[in-house]
Amino acid sequence: MSIALVILAAGKGTRMDSDLPKVLHKIGGAPLLHHAMLSASALEPERTIVVTGHGAELVEAAALDFDADAVAVRQDEQLGTAHAVRQAKQALAGFEGDVIVLYGDTPFISTDTLDAMRAARASNDVVVLGFQAADPGRYGRLVMEGNTLSRIVEYKDATDAERAVTLCNSGVVCADAETLLDLVDAVGNDNASGEYYLTDIVGIAGDRGLKSTAVTCDEAETIGINSRVELAAAEATFQARMRVSLMDSGVQMQAPDTVFLSFDTVIGRDAEIEPNVIFAPGVTVESGARIRAFSHLEGAHVSRGAIVGPFARLRPGAELAEQVHIGNFVEIKNARIDEGAKVNHLSYVGDAEVGARSNIGAGTITCNYDGVMKHKTTIGRDTFIGSNTMLVAPVTVGDAAMTATSTVVTRDVPEGAMAIGRADQVNKDGFARKLFSMLRAKKAKLGKG
C-alpha cells in the first residue's frame, strides 16, 4: 500500500529561546527535521508533506534541501495538532493509501517502528504509537481494552486510575488518508486551550465503530526536543548510538566518548579512530584507514590505508586516495591527493591535485586565492616539493620535478625540472654584534627613563 507522510513542523519552540525555528536546531550536524524525514524515507513515501508555521520559509527550504519533492503547507495559526493535519488536506487530494503523522522535533522514531505501525494497520483503522514510560509524568495515557485502544486521556483530565497507566502517547499516528482526514475534520476545540487535538480522533473513531490500537516502541525513540537542555541530551543519545553502531560494524575506537560523528558519517571496518576526532557532515572513511587524534574532517573522502593526523584538518572537497599520509597541522581543501602521496607537516593544500607518490615538504602553501577568484595548483607524479615552497596558482609542477626549499613558484615547472626562486643570501660581517649592542643600549636607556 502507498504511504504518505505528514510531518508537523510549525512550532516556535519558545523554550529554545532562539530566533531559529525549533526543528532547524541540529543533532549530529543535521536539523531535527531531517532526522524525522530520514527515518521515514526508508518507507519510500509517495508524498511527503511538511506543515510549517513559525519561520516557515526557513523550514520549507530545509525540507526541500532534504527532499526536493517534499510539499510544504502552512499553518498560519497554531491551533493544535489536528488543525495542523487539516492543513495537509489539499496536498493529500487524490492520494489513496496510509498516512503517518510525524513530528519535526522528534528525531529518533525508527524505520522498524514505522513498519510495525503499518503492519498493525492491516487489522485496525487507526494505529497510535505508544511507549512504556519510566516516569509517565504529564504524558497523555493510552487506555487499552485488550488489543483495542479505547481512548487517549490527557493527564489533566485523567482519573487516579488512568494516571497509574504507564503506557503513554507519542503523538505519532497512522491511518488511511480518507479516514484520517474525516476524523480530524470532526475534532472540536471544546477544551481549556481552545485547540484541536489529534488525540481526539481515537474517541471519534470508536464512536463511529472504527477500531484503534497501539504499537509500542522504546521510550528513547519518542524523545521530543523542546529546550536546549533536551537538545544536548538528544545529541548525547545520538552520538552514543552512532559510536556503538560503528564499533559493532568493525570500527576501532580507542576512546569512543571523545569521537563526535554526524548523521551521515560512513566508516569502514578495521578503520581506526583515535581520541578527540570530529566528523562533520559528508565524511566517508574507507576500511583500514587511520584517523589520528585531534583531527577534524568535513565533506571529505579518505581511502583505504590512508593516515590522517594528528591535528589535521580535511575540509570539503578533500579526496585522499589509498595509502596517502596527511600529517600534523596540515589542512586540505577541495584537493585530490593521489595514491601514496605525502603531506606530512604544517602545510596548506587547497584547490589542487597532487600526483601519486609525490612528497609535499613542511610549510608548503598553495596560494590559491587572489582576493577575488580561486585558482588551481597541479602537482605531478613522483614530484618533490621542498619545504616552505609557495605555489602561486594557477601553476603546474610536472612529473618527477622538484622545487628547492623556500622557492616561490610563479611559473609552470616542466617535467623533471628543478625550480629555484628565492633571493640571494648576503652575509654582513660583524653586523649582528653591532646591531645587538645598539639595541641593548637603547633598551637600557629606556629602562632608566
CB 49 within 8 A of CB 19: no
Between CA 409 and CA 393 the distance in angstroms is 9
Sign of CA dihedral 52, 58, 60, 62: negative
Query: Which residues are within 8 A (CB) of 202 and not within 5 positions of it... i.e. 6 or more apart?
Result: 126, 128, 149, 150, 151, 152, 212
The residue among 244, 248, 241, 273 whose CA lies nearest residue 259 is 273
Query: Which residues are within 8 A (CB) of 274 and not within 5 positions of it... i.e. 6 or more apart?
Result: 254, 255, 290, 291, 292, 293, 295, 309, 310
What would the grid cell of residue 59 be?
523550514
Between CA 371 and CA 391 the distance in angstroms is 16
Query: Which residues are within 8 A (CB) of 71 and not within 5 positions of it... i.e. 6 or more apart?
Result: 47, 48, 49, 50, 91
Active site residue 345: yes
- In eight-state DSSP terms, residue 106 is -
Catalytic residue among 83, 325, 345, 375: 345
- In eight-state DSSP terms, residue 20 is S
Q: Rounded to a whole number, what is the distance in angstroms from the first to the last CA of the chain?
A: 91
Residues in the chain: 449
Query: Which residues are within 8 A (CB) of 293 and not within 5 positions of it... i.e. 6 or more apart?
Result: 274, 275, 276, 277, 309, 310, 311
Task: Name the H helices within 42-87.
Answer: 56-66, 81-86
Residue numbers annotated as active site: 345
